[in-house]
Amino acid sequence: MDDTVSSQVRSETDLVKMNLELQELRAQQLDLKVRNENLQKEVNQLRRENAQLKRMPLFVASVVEVMGDGEVYLRQQGNNQEYLTTVNEELQKTLKPGTKVAVNNALSVVKIIGSVFDARVRVMELEASPDVTFEQIGGLRQEIEEVREAVEYPLTRPEVFRRLGVEPPKGILLHGPPGTGKTLIAKAVAHQARATFIRMSGSELVHKFIGEGAQLVRELFQLARERAPSIIFIDEIDAIASMRTHDGTSGSAEVQRTLMQLLAEMDGFDNRGDIRIMAATNRLDMLDLAILRPGRFDRVLRIPLPDEGARREILKIHTRSMKVGEVDLEDLVKGTESGTGADLQAICREAGMNAVRRGADAVEQQDFTAALAKVRSEPSLRDDRMYR
Ligand code: ATP
């Protein structure tokens, strides 16, 4: 009986305790409800502020580096101003060097616009394997052979170099007047080696992609690694590697950084790897000697104006697919001294157009004579880019 009484008393005390706990929990719940309401108000307020911020004009910046602790190093486009800002953990995970972001007045990242990938597509020309062959190049036998030795054979016969312990040149620089076939040779070598051809224009890099030069150079080498075997062809390299860049004028620091990146990429490069580097310039005299040091562009090759024999060959190449009547090509060969391959191509194209205009059955001497006069008087016709 005693036992029953004591257990009854225990359960009553338990009940009282539980009741107290319940009251306590209810009080806590009420508390949390109030806090929740307050937080909800805060969220709504922040949402309103956020929407307000997004309505304000935003600036475009690109990510230079993602540092630790949520810090991001940004470079604003247009004025090239650089600064550090902090982003939340989630955003930090999605940002990479080159990502384009929108920043507000307070320089906080508001949203991601895209990556630098689109820029790289615009500035780089990529061909899986160009369709240019050596048969499409007139003259330049010796030059072509030298380029093949330095660029093609290390890709197609690496074992010969390994067996002989010979280091192929790291980079090859072609120089000479515009329109003499430098790009053509690079493409034909890529075709022969079944390599990806990646062309980047130095001047476009400097003028159109201010603030992104160094990053694009990094991307260029990255792309070449992904698509190996590949041949990188940097056209108008003088735009990024000219001595003028030391004069401290505006933009020169940026160009200097682009050049430094290029040199760093080349220095960290294996000569015997499956990526070859070529460059071209019309202004060898203006080049910064740093790029001609051993281990960089250590083979320099002049691509001259075509001589008589080469001009004959080039004219034949560019009239190959035309229906040509009684035409004395020798007259043209003689009349085009100091003309480039691009001039000769322009003459053939113009002659063809003249024949089309006449409604003729074949391209005749008169068409070539008129074309020669026209191309001589209008140097812009030499630029085949006009016709692309
Ligand atoms: P730039 O310095 O202006 O870039 P480039 O030396 O690279 O000029 P290319 O782009 O190779 O010149 O040549 C332009 C065009 O001229 C070619 O597409 C080709 O049609 C013609 N051409 C130039 N040289 C030759 C050549 N040796 N044989 C046949 N065609 C040629």
Domain-wise residue ranges, the chain:
1-55, 59-116, 121-302, 308-387
Regarding the domain delimited by 121-302, which CATH topology (the fold level of the hierarchy) does it fall under?
Rossmann fold (3.40.50)
Mean per-residue pLDDT, 179-195: 94
pLDDT, mean over the chain: 86
Q: How confident is the model at residue 63 (pLDDT cuts 50, 70, 90)?
A: confident
385 pLDDT more than 50? no
CB of 301 sitting under 6 A from ligand 1: no
Worst-scoring range by mean pLDDT, 10-19, 92-101, 146-155, 203-212? 203-212
Q: How far is the CA of 158 from the centre of ligand 1 (A)?
A: 29
For residue 327, give both structure tokens: 């035409």
**299-335 pLDDT tens trace:** 999 999 999 999 999 999 999 999 999 888 898 899 8
43 pLDDT more than 50? yes
Worst-scoring range by mean pLDDT, 16-20, 47-51, 70-74, 172-176? 47-51
Percent of the chain surpassing pLDDT 70: 91
384 pLDDT more than 50? no
Q: How confident is the model at residue 223 (pLDDT cuts 50, 70, 90)?
A: confident
For residue 163, give both structure tokens: 């067996």
> 175, 345, 375, 387: which to mutate for ligand 1, most atoms within 8 A of CB?
345
pLDDT value of residue 95: 87
249 pLDDT more than 70? no
Instruction: For strands 171-175 and 109-114, give the pairing.
Output: unpaired
pLDDT value of residue 22: 94
Q: How far is the CA of 288 from the centre of ligand 1 (A)?
A: 25
Q: Taking every pair of C-alpha atoms in the chain, what is the biggest distance, in angstroms? A: 136
Q: What is the CATH number assigned to the segment(s) 308-387?
A: 1.10.8.60
Find residue 66's DSSP bridge partners.
72
Mean per-residue pLDDT, 48-72: 82
**228-244 pLDDT tens trace:** 899 999 999 998 888 75
Mean per-residue pLDDT, 347-366: 93
Q: How confident is the model at residue 117 (pLDDT cuts 50, 70, 90)?
A: low
Alpha carbon distances (Å) from 351 to 148, 309, 320, 366, 375: 34, 21, 13, 8, 10
Spell out the CATH class of 59-116.
Answer: mainly beta
pTM as predicted: 0.70
Question: Closest Cα partner for 170 from 289, 299, 303, 300?
Answer: 299
Residue entry with tokens 């910046």? 61
For residue 374, give both structure tokens: 């026209």
Alpha carbon distances (Å) from 297 to 240, 242, 304: 14, 14, 19
Mean per-residue pLDDT, 344-348: 94
State whether residue 132 is helix, strand or coil. Answer: coil
CB of 384 sitting under 6 A from ligand 1: yes
Instruction: For strands 230-235 and 196-201, give the pairing.
Output: parallel
* Greater pLDDT, 10 or 139: 139
> Residue with the nearest Cα to atom 21 of ligand 1?
342
